[in-house]
Structure 1
Amino acid sequence: MYPITYVTDCFDGNARARLSTRIGALFGQSPTIVAADGPDPESFAALTLLDCLIATESLGEEGHPTITLLNIAPRDGVWPNGVPFCWFRYGKHLVASTFNPRVLAQVQRELGIERVHVTDIRAAVTAAGFAPAEVDKIAGTQFRSLWYLPLLAKWVADGRDVPSAETAIPETYDPEPVVAVVDNFGNCKLDRRLDLTFGATLTVAQRNDDGSTTPVDVICYPHLTAVPRNSPGIIPGSSGTGYTELVIRGASAATTFGLQPGDPLTTTADICSVA
């Protein structure tokens, strides 16, 4: 059996129950379901996917293969009945996901995942031997992340031949550092690693209640315990490959600076020296 993690923006109680039951029936165990909530589920999912794969490294032993499912569908209306699903491997670990370039951007940049196998639901389900009525049901449903994505993961995990087209992940990159995740301490995890000089400052945009912003120069520190208590700091964080975080030791940086996922961190990307 494989450890299974499912990151999804369909996470209400009803959706969780259906996802857990269907995956349990397929794999013999239910997944850990992670809610991709908040104002920017794509940035949350991108960093979470990267962290899930990095978490399989440096175990000190062989370790077990894992499966990560990810469902974040862009609401752009470009694809008929939604964006297609794809799969790829990172070593022995399997990822089955919506083909969302922004969600896949982190593993593309940091792990070298340049191409994925994009599938067509109708073709894949037909090739699996489903009756025409079931093919129509699975291909035409609104909840494709329930009816199809678990099947795709199971077929690939079992080594079955799934019709697909190997496709390059389109390049996408936010020009400014963006808050990807706000953790339970209120630390703001960025979507990248900044080239920091410890003792220098980074100008952070503090959002005010009246809608204005105030530039605040925040000092860069080598780690959290070097940040003075109740003071803001910029540090190498725990996510990604040392991705940068805005923190306040003993308080919430997100609350103090009025930041939430999807917000750019800075008024300028330049790091300037402390006077």
Structure 2
Amino acid sequence: MYPITYITDCFDGNARARLSTRIGALFGQSPTIVAADGPDPESFAALTLLDCLIATESLGPDGVAGHPTITLLNIAPRDGVWPNGVPFCFFRYGQHLVATTFNARVLSLVRRELGIDRVHVTDIREAVTAAGFGADEIEKIAGTQFRSLWYLPLLAKWVADGRTVPATETAVPDVLDADPVVTVVDNFGNCKLDRRLDLALGSSLSVAQRNDDGSTSLVDVRVYPHLTAVPRNAPGIVPGSSGTGFTELVIRGGSAAEVFGLRPGDTLLEPVAANVA
């Protein structure tokens, strides 16, 4: 049995029940379903996928082997570019399997941080036909609106079982937002960015504070080595817990997201000159 995590933008109660039941029927256990909600589900999914794979590392001394995991990910806007939505793909990170929509922005962080620059892209109709399904089932699975229910768990199961799935090895496009982006606002109101900022301790970053009247003010926020070094109730820039030491905007004892009016998808301004006391 594999630990299974499912990151998806289909997370209402009805969708969760169906996803849990279908994966349970295929794998013998239900997944942990993570809602990719908020105004920028792609950036949330990108960081969460990276964090899930990093979480499989550093499990103990040499000789302590961890268990394989499966991560499914579905962020599939119907943008008209693909006949019935973006295709699905799969890749491995060591012994760990990821089955996901082929979304360049969602894959951007594992590409940059983990070197996942090629994935295996599948065609639903071709894959289901090769698996031996009848014509009616092929049409049902290939033509459904809920492909992340009817197809993606099947794809993960086939690959996990070592079955051959028709697929085309495809390069992951190199896509990254030009400016640092808030990817996740955690339950403390800390704003997790999508990268490490090369900032010296004691320097500052000019951050845009969105005010209630619609105006924007620039606030110089000092760089600290960790959260507890930030003065209480003051803002700070620190190395965070996500990614490979990705930067976070925090307020010790408060919510940076609330004070600065930030939410996922918002950008921060570029660093200003060092301001060392």
Check whether TM > 0.5.
Answer: yes
| Match in the other structure for 2:26 | 26
The answer (yes or no) to whether the contact 1:186–1:247 under 8 Å persists in 2 is yes
Q: Give the aligned residue type for 1:169.
A: V
Q: Is 1:273 matched up with 2:255?
A: no
Q: Is 1:124 matched up with 2:121?
A: no
| Match in the other structure for 1:253 | 256
Identity of aligned pairs, percent?
A: 81
Equivalent in 65, 69, 72 of residue 69 of structure 1: 72
**How many pairs align?**
273
1:213-270 alpha-carbon deviations (Å, 9 max, x no partner): 100000000000000000000000000000000000000000000000000022xx13
Q: Is 1:223 matched up with 2:218?
A: no
Q: Give the aligned residue type for 2:237.
A: I
CA shift for structure 1 position 171: 1.3
Q: Is 1:83 matched up with 2:72?
A: no
In the TM superposition, structure 1's runs of 4+ consecutive aligned residues that sit over 4 Å from their partners are none
CA shift for structure 1 position 204: 0.3
Q: Is 1:200 matched up with 2:203?
A: yes
| Match in the other structure for 2:115 | 112
| Match in the other structure for 1:146 | 149
Q: Give the aligned residue type for 2:271.
A: D
Equivalent in 114, 134, 159 of residue 156 of structure 1: 159
1:196-222 alpha-carbon deviations (Å, 9 max, x no partner): 101000000000112211000000000
Distance in 1, Cα, partners of 2:215 & 2:99: 41
Q: Give the aligned residue type for 1:272.
A: A
- For structure 2, the residue ranges without an aligned partner over 5 or more in a row are none
The answer (yes or no) to whether the contact 2:78–2:84 under 8 Å persists in 1 is no
> What CA RMSD, in Å, does the superposition of the two structures yield over aligned residues?
0.7
CA shift for structure 1 position 18: 0.1
- For structure 1, the residue ranges without an aligned partner over 5 or more in a row are none
CA shift for structure 1 position 74: 3.1
Distance in 2, Cα, partners of 1:243 & 1:271: 19
Moved more, 68-77 or 56-65: 68-77
1:89-142 alpha-carbon deviations (Å, 9 max, x no partner): 000000000000000000000000010000000000000011110000000000
CA shift for structure 1 position 143: 0.1
- What secondary structure sits across from 1:70 in the alignment? strand
TM-score computed with the length of structure 2 as normaliser: 0.98
| Match in the other structure for 1:134 | 137
| Match in the other structure for 1:174 | 177
Q: Give the aligned residue type for 2:128.
A: V
Equivalent in 257, 264, 267 of residue 267 of structure 2: 264
Q: Give the aligned residue type for 1:46.
A: A
Distance in 1, Cα, partners of 2:252 & 2:105: 31
- What secondary structure sits across from 1:20 in the alignment? helix
CA shift for structure 1 position 75: 3.6
| Match in the other structure for 1:11 | 11
